[in-house]
Chains A and B, each alone.
Chain A
């Protein structure tokens, strides 16, 4: 009895990790961009282009890591575009982000039709060329650790590692301090000799890179191809997780795990022959998120200069 309960919990933990991973990468991207003072509502579009680039490169080249990096570069290019508008030209950041979402979806599907004989779905990557599963078969069959880790792709561990790295970078290094100071008070940072423009550029580009990773974590690991409905809103959920996590990497991680956990629970409950419809169970992650927001989180505060374009020469 206890064993079944434990193995079920292990199963839920496993699916939680799997579903949280793409969200973790993408919301880390959001953390970087917004802490430097640039709202990034374009995460969805960057994720879509990353998912496509990952699947397409994975299919043509065959190496999952090259594909993963390629996805990061593709996302980073969109980050560059967003930075170009927001940092150089003081764009309305929400508007630019919405534009990125349309461009990401449009360009991904356009390229898919060009490279995959008119199909909006890329061809499947052979199993051997998908992301490796480092702990596959390491633990004995049927053990709890095996249930949790057996099928986890390398992207899962890398995501957790990235949270640690970003946290360390933001709060323990001088570059992280600079990044945060640019997002809180760019004028003060500028007087201290920090190059506001450069830091914002780098942050927004890295934000795109991470969102691209997030997309590839779906198309190279969870599934093995790109299709128009693959990302469908996960970028927005990652955005929500980032706000939910109060603009901090560790907070975003927890929010993503909560969401992935609710999704894992939904998948777990879905396998039983309940009288409850699977459609209602699928609502669970979204309902839980709202309930948690209402009950426990309260008001969240964005970095002070988030969303405000910075101009060096103020006319007072």
Chain B
């Protein structure tokens, strides 16, 4: 069979418009093109910049590890927002839920003294519960008082931020002489092979195995594995359980769901609780795995807002959030590399790339129109 140019175009059209993955990939490509245009207009070599970025993500085991570490919280906040989207709610509050999660994790990680294998689960579960309740508050306000969740979660974000700062200035929690909290107990630390890495035998072994030495240089931890498991769990809950069915029904058509005997208000609260719990888990894992403490924050750190973009790029698909989170983590981490020699371009170009990707994702019609025009010209009809 001969594949003509016309067929190829048709195939491209179907790929780009009917399969969401194809459309997403084209949007990502176009986003990178826009970033390249900005770089070129500012006098940088975009090919060099992207090459440096690519190398900065994949060239060393430690780079890949850092990319994964960056991606982990974004996968989870992305899941949080995607989950709420599926149930018809817009969770702008992942930012604040993340903060509550990390504060709760730091508090239980520092104040409690528990054996090794028990401490981490206790820390993570209490953080997840705290953030779940924080998210649930917004759901409760919506169900009970009709307060728009966009407003309440925006306000709750700021309350969470000042709450964290308040705790950091609280005696007993603040590490003297710094604007940070105390670090969590070693039993709550989830870094992989942490003690072995610093032991005599460990150091010697690593000296002979440069690959592992480089890989373990990073605060590598189990967070990524947990994030993937969570994505699978969320997918399962949404698609394979009665709870997921009810939640999606509420998101799809509130009135029809109510008519069908589903308690809409209750499901809104449950949905925001789960969304909050997921974002809180992101905060908890960040503390037990990477930062081990919380510090004073002047402005929003963006885990929640970046999560919105992750959820959108993933088309609110739970498993898609893993890939979108990895893409995001890679762009963010790789973006820091172009700031340095030899490119020295503003790393903010990454935000332009991400914004453009999301922008193209918002307008599937544009790509359809461009490709269908070509199709029309190509066809003889």
The interface of chain A, by Cβ under 8 A from chain B, is: 45, 81, 85, 89-96, 98-107, 109-110, 113-114, 118, 120, 228-229, 232-233, 236-237, 239-240, 243-244, 277, 279-280, 282-283, 285-287, 289-290, 293-294, 297-300
Q: What does DSSP make chain B's interface, helix, strand, loop or mixed?
A: helix
| CB 8 Å contact bits of B157-181 with A (1 = contact, 0 = none) | 1110011011001100000000000
A89 to B366, CA, bound (A): 6
| Interface: B300 (CB within 8 A) | yes
The answer to whether A98 and B154 touch (CB under 8 A), given A233-B300, A279-B169, is no
Query: Which residue on chain B has the smallest CB distance to residue A227?
Result: B299
Asked whether, in the complex, the Cβ of B166 is within 8 Å of the Cβ of A280, the reply is yes
The answer to whether A294 and B147 touch (CB under 8 A), given A279-B162, A287-B159, is yes
A279 to B159, CA, bound (A): 9
A229 to B296, CA, bound (A): 14
Q: How far is the CB of B67 from chain A (nearest CB, A)?
A: 20
Asked whether, in the complex, the Cβ of A91 is within 8 Å of the Cβ of B298, the reply is no
CB-CB under 8 A from A118, the residues of chain B are 346
Asked whether, in the complex, the Cβ of A98 is within 8 Å of the Cβ of B308, the reply is yes
A310 to B244, CA, bound (A): 32
Q: What 18 new A-B contacts, CB under 8 Å, besides A106-B354, A290-B147?
A: A85-B362, A90-B365, A91-B362, A91-B363, A102-B352, A106-B349, A106-B352, A107-B352, A109-B351, A110-B348, A239-B150, A240-B151, A277-B169, A277-B170, A280-B166, A282-B165, A286-B162, A293-B145
| Interface: B148 (CB within 8 A) | yes
Subset of 10 A-B contacts with CB under 8 Å: A91-B365, A96-B359, A96-B363, A110-B349, A232-B300, A236-B154, A282-B162, A283-B159, A286-B158, A289-B151
Asked whether, in the complex, the Cβ of A243 is within 8 Å of the Cβ of B349, the reply is no
Asked whether, in the complex, the Cβ of A237 is within 8 Å of the Cβ of B154, the reply is yes
CB-CB under 8 A from B357, the residues of chain A are 99
Asked whether, in the complex, the Cβ of A95 is within 8 Å of the Cβ of B312, the reply is yes
Asked whether, in the complex, the Cβ of B356 is within 8 Å of the Cβ of A103, the reply is yes
Asked whether, in the complex, the Cβ of B309 is within 8 Å of the Cβ of A98, the reply is yes
- Chain B residues 282-302 with CB under 8 Å of chain A are 298-300
The one of A229, A283, A289 in contact with B298, judged by C-beta atoms closer than 8 angstroms, is A229
Query: Which residue on chain B has the smallest CB distance to residue A107?
Result: B352
Asked whether, in the complex, the Cβ of A300 is within 8 Å of the Cβ of B148, the reply is yes
Asked whether, in the complex, the Cβ of A105 is within 8 Å of the Cβ of B351, the reply is yes
Asked whether, in the complex, the Cβ of A243 is within 8 Å of the Cβ of B169, the reply is no
CB-CB under 8 A from B158, the residues of chain A are 233, 283, 285-286
Query: Which residue on chain A has the smallest CB distance to residue B38?
Result: A110
The one of B151, B159, B355 in contact with A99, judged by C-beta atoms closer than 8 angstroms, is B355
Asked whether, in the complex, the Cβ of A99 is within 8 Å of the Cβ of B42, the reply is no
CB-CB under 8 A from A95, the residues of chain B are 312, 358, 361-362
A22 to B165, CA, bound (A): 25
The one of A103, A229, A294 in contact with B355, judged by C-beta atoms closer than 8 angstroms, is A103
Asked whether, in the complex, the Cβ of A109 is within 8 Å of the Cβ of B348, the reply is yes
CB-CB under 8 A from B351, the residues of chain A are 102-103, 105-106, 109-110
CB-CB under 8 A from A113, the residues of chain B are 346, 348
